[in-house]
Structure 1
Amino acid sequence: MKKVITLLFLVLVGFVQAQQAFKGKGDTKINVGANLQNDGSGIQGSIDFGLAENFSYGFVASYLLGVNEFSGFYNGGTTPYVNEKPEFKDRFDAKFRINANIGNVFNIDEKLDIYPGLNLGLKNFGGHVGGRYFFTEGFGVFTELGFPIAKYSDDNDLFDHLNNQVTFSLGASFNL
Structure 2
Amino acid sequence: MKNGLLILTCLITSFMSAQSFSGKDDQKLQIGANFQDNVNGIVITYDYGLGENISVGLVTGYALNLNNGLEADFDNRIDLKARFNANLGNVLNISDNFDVYPGINLGLKNFGGHLGMRYFFSDGFGIFSEFGTTFAKYKSGRLSPAEKIHNQFTANIGAVFNL
TM-score of the superposed pair, with normalisation by structure 1: 0.83
Q: Structure 2: any 5+ residue segments left out of the alignment?
A: none
Secondary structure of 1:35's match?
A: strand
Can you list the C-alpha shifts for 1:125-160, whole angstroms capped at 9, x where unaligned?
000000111101100000000100001123343411
- Corresponding position of 1:98: 84
- Corresponding position of 2:13: 16
- Corresponding position of 1:37: 36
1:172 aligned partner, one-letter code: A
TM-score of the superposed pair, with normalisation by structure 2: 0.89
**Which of the residues 159, 162, 171 maps onto 2:146?**
159
Can you list the C-alpha shifts for 1:22-48, whole angstroms capped at 9, x where unaligned?
000010000000001111100000000
Tell me, yes or no, if the aligned pair for 1:14 and 1:135 is still in contact at 8 Å.
Answer: no
Secondary structure of 1:159's match?
A: coil
- Corresponding position of 2:66: 67
Runs of 4 or more consecutive aligned structure 1 residues displaced over 2 Å after TM superposition: 12-16, 154-158
Q: Which has the larger radius of gyration?
A: 1
Aligned residues: 156
Tell me, yes or no, if the aligned pair for 1:112 and 1:133 is still in contact at 8 Å.
Answer: yes
Q: Structure 1: any 5+ residue segments left out of the alignment?
A: 1-5, 71-83
- Residues in 1 aligned to 2:137 and 2:47: alpha-carbon distance in whole angstroms: 24
Question: Is 1:149 matched with 2:135?
Answer: yes
**Which of the residues 71, 92, 95 maps onto 1:85?**
71
1:86 aligned partner, one-letter code: A
Q: Which moved more, 1:112-121 or 1:149-158?
A: 149-158
2:138 aligned partner, one-letter code: Y
Structure 2 vs 1, CA of residues 66 and 107 (structure 1 numbering), >3 Å: closer, same or farther?
same
- Residues in 1 aligned to 2:95 and 2:19: alpha-carbon distance in whole angstroms: 9
- Residues in 1 aligned to 2:160 and 2:25: alpha-carbon distance in whole angstroms: 17
Identity of aligned pairs, percent? 47
Tell me how large the CA RMSD over aligned residues is: 1.8
Can you list the C-alpha shifts for 1:70-90, whole angstroms capped at 9, x where unaligned?
4xxxxxxxxxxxxx6200011
Tell me, yes or no, if the aligned pair for 1:40 and 1:64 is still in contact at 8 Å.
Answer: yes
Tell me, yes or no, if the aligned pair for 1:69 and 1:85 is still in contact at 8 Å.
Answer: no
